[in-house]
Amino acid sequence: MSQLDPLLFGEIDPPQRLLMGPGPVNAHPRVLRAMSADLLGQFDPEMTGYMNQVMALYRPVFGTGNRWTMLIDGTARAAIEASLVSLVEPGDRVLVLNFGRFGLLLTEILTRIGAVIETVDAPWGEVVPLDAVAAAIERSGPKLVACVHGDTSTTMAQPLDGLGALCRAAGALSYVDATATLGGMEIAADRWGVDVVTGGLQKCLGGPSGSAPITISDAAARHISARRHVERGIRRADIADGSGARIASNYFDLAMIMDYWSEKRLNHHTEATSMLYAARECARVALGEGLAARFARHAAAGRAMTAGLRAMGLTVFGDDAHRMTNVTGVFIPEGVDGERVRAAMRDHFEIEIGTAFGPLQGRIWRLGAMGYNAMKHKVLLTLGALEACLRMEGVTLPAGAAVAAALAAWEA
């Protein structure tokens, strides 16, 4: 018998942590309640009705009128990979805007697909200027331009106004990963003129990871449908194969997934029912609050967090002009063990803040205030706890200055 006897495992009872890192965050109670609803068969009229409702709910969240606005069953990365594998064939030239870890993730996935990758880069803590994007498109002649909207590794948000026009003029499609910003910063798929945008529930939408909203333009849908090759066991006379190369993944084949979400109801996979309930409620909560009010709340939370950290005497990371509203990076003070502070935050206050990746690992913490956690009192609790934990490490700080500055900034 192993050292851990499965018969001794108790009921799951996790600590009630306040998740104030770069995501995931605490789920909204309404979302958790929705997930406990009874399951339905995947083709039950009530279930397909819920699917249609989800499509309608997420169009305003994405800022689009796209017909093909739906869910991918899986984490946010599932939607990223589904988009890229369905848009890109081996040998296609793709331009990636790279300013952090998740731009590098796009190149990782595209490398596995066999794309020819060009990048236009910015240092971590900055974004890529639009004129540099234009020059890179002219130089490389890509079939697809791919970028991240808000990269939580650097806490920077890439401006996207004008990107779609550049791509259309060059005959290229466009893809945007909005995992970290959907529901917290404005996503304007139609105004930006971008073709495919994907998100996740676990950040600004205040849900659990495991379902990934996606919206697809008509132009991208035509490109994807041209690559449709329905698997043999579910072929039907009313669904014809396309003339293009078969999409290399079965599970992430957007052509078949689109047919599943359409009136054809192609039996591609079994919809993740509880996650669909969660995604539906996330959108209802967001739209019920009002998107403009929600964006303002996230901006106030980010503004307060940044002001509080600076009032403590800490140095905030990155370019203020392009900072995400929902995640703030801050340099770890010289001589302080960042992981020991994070552990003290958990152990003494049940608050989690984030570490960092790559060149920023061990240099900055990342503090998030998004979704259900983008609230004044949660920002104040986090700042107060961080001040106390830094004092335990012997750091001299102006007592109470962080909370006072955050309060003033919230109301600004």
Predicted confidence at residue 2, as pLDDT, reads 56
Find out whether 267 and 234 touch, Cβ atoms under 8 Å. yes
Report the alpha-carbon distance of residue 410 to residue 344 in Å, rounded.
26
pLDDT band at 1 (very low <50, low <70, confident <90, very high): very low
Q: Quickly state the pLDDT bin for 110 (edges 50, 70, 90).
A: very high
pLDDT at res. 205: 98
| Mean pLDDT calculated for residue range 23-43 | 97
When the pLDDT of each residue in the chain is averaged and rounded to a whole number, the result is 96
Structure tokens, 346? 């958990």
Q: Nearest-5° angle of CA 159, CA 371, CA 327?
A: 50
- DSSP for 215-244? EE-HHHHHHHHTT----GGG--TTS---SS
What domains does the chain contain, in order, with CATH numbers? 29-286 (3.40.640.10), 291-411 (3.90.1150.10)
212-245 burial string, b = 16+ CB within 10 Å, else e?
Answer: bbbbbbeebbebbbebbbbeeeeeeeeeeebeee
Given pLDDT bands bounded at 50, 70 and 90, which one contains residue 9?
Answer: confident
Please check the confidence at residue 51 and state whether its pLDDT lies above 50. yes
Which tokens go with 289?
């609050």
315/98 Cα distance (integer angstroms): 24
The sign of the dihedral angle between the CA atoms of 174, 125, 157, 21 is positive
Model's pTM, two decimal places?
0.96
Better pLDDT: 73 or 234: 73
Query: Average pLDDT in the 136-164 region?
Result: 98
The pLDDT of residue 7? 74
pLDDT at 4: 75
Q: Is 387 helix (H, G, I), strand (E, B) or coil?
A: helix
Q: Is the pLDDT of residue 26 over 50?
A: yes
For 141-212, where are the alpha helices, taking DSSP H only? 163-169, 189-192
pLDDT of residue 8: 78
Measured CA to CA, the distance from residue 212 to residue 279 in angstroms comes to 8
Query: Do you find a cis peptide bond into 159, omega within 30 degrees of 0?
Result: no
Per-residue confidence (pLDDT) for residue 3, from 0 to 100: 72
- Summarised one tens digit per residue, pLDDT across range 213-254 is 999 999 999 999 999 999 999 999 988 999 999 999 999 999
Are 81 and 112 in contact by the 8 Å Cβ rule? The answer is no
Distance CA 227, CA 267 (A): 18
| CA separation for the pair 2, 39 (Å, rounded) | 35
Is 148 within 8 Å of 174 (Cβ atoms)? no
